[in-house]
Amino acid sequence: MSDAVKYMVTGASGQLGALVIDGLLARVPAGEIGALVRRAEAAAALEAKGVMVRVADYGDRAALEAAFAGVARLLLVSSNEIGQRAVQHANAIAAAEAAGVGFVAYTSILKADTSPLTVLPGEHLDTETALAASGLDYAVLRNGWYTENYAASIPAALAQGALIGAAGAGRISSAARRDYADAAVAVLTGDLPARGTVYELAGDTSYTLSEFAEALAEVSGQPVAYRDLGEAGFEQALIGAGLPGPVARMLADSDAGAAQGGLFSEDRTLSRLIGRASTPPQDVIRAAL
């Protein structure tokens, strides 16, 4: 980088990264913030906020190293390319080490080392292992489920009068995406934790998908019930709705994992980090409506 920045956020034009940028802007001068994006066309909106933007792909080690030069604290937001993430994240970690980054926080998944989910945790664990093997100071933000993941189904649920899934009676301790962004900001801007600190992050309240459907019905004023299709049935329904096969597989697996407690936690680290209660699901439903 031509100019050093204290904080760098990767995936800065994505849904989580953009919220982290806004959270940092509320705490520190814009000149201390760097944003990494994959596509140059994503730069303008971020540059308008006064942050320094660099363009690099997780697959381009040299570009990453140049982008990370002079960075004191880096938030490594996990890639959305399932199946490619372990290699991409290893590139980013190697580039951060070569560039002399002082500290890295990585967005992993809740209970990555014990989760019953089968699709998502593996690459996150590989990344955590790569961080541990590096010479970097780092912490792991094991983000629980985003309530927005279920809120995305609201239009279809209202149209059909049914919220479909495969989570059975499993309880889900989700939080709003902004809650997780605020936690990342708190870790980045606070006193640095001990190397390898793991934060298990989940919402303060939990619900079953039946309860989520009841909340949706109450907030919307329309009848909505939960219909459990089982893992295979849910996957096929998602494919039928136009989702790509790998995405449908991941969502169905995640629901099946939720049925086994994989998305439930009574840990209150998230609300302690952000200094407030996590966002209730009803608030996310209202925002979605």
Q: Does domain 7-144+175-200 have CATH number 3.40.50.720?
A: yes
Task: Give 2-31 pLDDT, tens digit per residue.
Answer: 468 999 999 999 999 999 999 999 999 999
- Chain mean pLDDT for the chain: 96
Say if CB 99 and CB 72 are below 8 A apart. no
Check whether 149 has a pLDDT greater than 70.
Answer: yes
Task: Give 85-136 pLDDT, tens digit per residue.
Answer: 999 999 999 999 999 999 999 999 999 999 999 999 999 999 999 999 999 9
Q: What is the pLDDT of residue 2?
A: 45
Q: What is the pLDDT of residue 1?
A: 40
CA distances from 145 to 61, 96, 196, 282 (A): 30, 27, 22, 15
Q: What is the pLDDT of residue 4?
A: 80
Q: What is the pLDDT of residue 3?
A: 66
Q: Please provide residue 226's backbone torsions phi and psi, each rounded to the nearest 5 degrees.
A: -90, 135
The reported pTM is: 0.96
Which residue, among 282, 288, 252, has the nearest Cα to 158 in the 3D structure? Answer: 288
Say what percent of the chain tops pLDDT 70.
99
Which residue, among 102, 78, 91, 97, has the nearest Cα to 5 in the 3D structure? Answer: 102
- What is the DSSP annotation of 63-112? HHHHHHTT-SEEEEPPPS-TTTHHHHHHHHHHHHHHHT-SEEEEEEETTT
CATH topology of domain 148-172+204-265+277-288: UDP-galactose 4-epimerase; domain 1 (3.90.25)
Question: Considering only 46-50, 80-84, 184-188, 215-219, which range has the smallest mean pLDDT?
Answer: 80-84
Task: Give 39-67 pLDDT, tens digit per residue.
Answer: 999 899 999 999 999 999 999 999 999 99
Q: Would you list the domain boundaries of the chain?
A: 7-144+175-200, 148-172+204-265+277-288
